[in-house]
Structures are given as structure tokens and as C-alpha cells.
Amino acid sequence: MGTEDWLIVENRTDGEVFVTDAGGNGNGNSSLGSIGAGSSGFGAGAVDRCAERALVAHAGSPDGPVVARRTAAEGQACVDPWVIGPHD
């Protein structure tokens, strides 16, 4: 899989967000990566952008408040990038 196949996360919030697998246990063990405020990049690690996989973005830490969700259907539809806005 080349980098063009990876999910790009665009963080438009004013804080770091941590991406976790929605099926994770919520204690941080399901963390896939983080992306800084106002940045974009591979914040979900090497997650295939077309994977039917639900993801959750948390503010401040892998177990922080949820600020955005990416549904499995959005993954299957190859929605890219995943934009996390300040009011999601």
C-alpha cells in the first residue's frame, strides 16, 4: 500500500486530536496516532482510506472527549481527507 492509499486527517481544531479505532476499549490501547492543531497528515497511522473501519477522534488524549467520528460507510466510500473541525 502506497502513501496515497492512507487516510489523511486534517485537524482544524485548536488542540491535538488522537485517533482511535471505534471498536477499541477506550483506555488508550486502541490509539492509532495523533495529529496536532491546525495540521494534516497520517494521523491515523497507516489506515487504508477505503477501509470499512469506524474511527473516533478524541481531544487531548486517546481517552479524552470525542470531537469527531468517521463511520465505516465513509471509509468504504473512500472519503478523504477526514476533516475534523472545531464544531464537529
- Kindly report, residue by residue over 15-33, the tens digit of the pLDDT: 999 999 887 544 544 888 9
Q: Which three cell numbers stand for residue 33?
A: 496516532
pLDDT average, residue stretch 7-20: 93
> Pick the residue with more confidence: 4 or 9?
9
- Complete DSSP assignment for 8-75: PEEE-SSS-EEEEETTS-SSSTTEEEEE-TT-EE-TTTT-BTTS---EEEEESSTTS-EEEEE-HHHH
pLDDT average, residue stretch 63-84: 92
**Shortest CA distance to 21 belongs to which of 44, 46, 4?**
44
- Please report the pLDDT score of residue 42 as a whole number: 78
